[in-house]
Amino acid sequence: MKYEIFNQNILSIIEEIKKDSLNMVYTKNNINPIYMANSKAKILIIGQAPGLKTAEKEMVFLDKSGDTLREWLGVSKEIFYSGIFAVLPLDFYYPGKGKTGDLPPRKEFAPLWHKRIMDQMPDISLTILIGSYAQKYYLGNKYRSLTETVFNYKSFLPTYFPIVHPSPLNFRWQNNNPWFKEFVVNDLKTMVHNIILGR
């Protein structure tokens, strides 16, 4: 499944990313940056960095986490990949494995490239921040933890909407925080629905 990019400027920026010295180790090994961007996008999703399976597929959220995310958003795969949504990880490349999971995204990537790509998507009206890395980068340390940040999501609306990662590994967190599906997900679905309908 492929998506279409309608802005040549975005493609030019991606070529710059591939040629950047910080990313040449990936480019030389035919590893492409992982993202989804469209000049007509209305909703932007920002997470930490692609995992190994996503990097191999070269497609964002085409997995169980993506299925859960689309359920939370209240959209089908067709709508998700239609150009309405954009996905910009904090790092467009898989960072590798650490002792307790994937390594964090490189700190220098997002400051170099995010704003330039966002400037090519003027219709973005909501940015969904998935996980603590994205939330700390864009929201700072207003709250002590991811749980507190997500619980207080309304304080960041209408610009940002912080949520937990939809990974199956987070089922215990969801079980311990039933308010997330009851209130947060319902509000997220409503906002996404209204944006898609142009309300």
Tell whether 1 is covered by a domain: no
Range of 122's domain? 8-196
Biggest distance spanned by C-alpha atoms of the chain: 46
pTM for this entry: 0.94
Tell whether 115 is covered by a domain: yes
Tell whether 2 is covered by a domain: no
How many domains are there within the chain? 1
Tell whether 151 is covered by a domain: yes
pLDDT at 5 over 60: no
The DSSP code sequence of 97-154 is B-SSSBPPPPTTHHHHHHHHHHTT-TT--EEEEEHHHHHHHHH-SSSSSHHHHHHTGG
pLDDT, one tens digit per residue, over 75-134 is 999 999 999 999 999 999 999 888 777 899 999 999 999 999 999 999 999 999 999 999
CATH number reported for the structural domain that contains residue 67 in this entry = 3.40.470.10
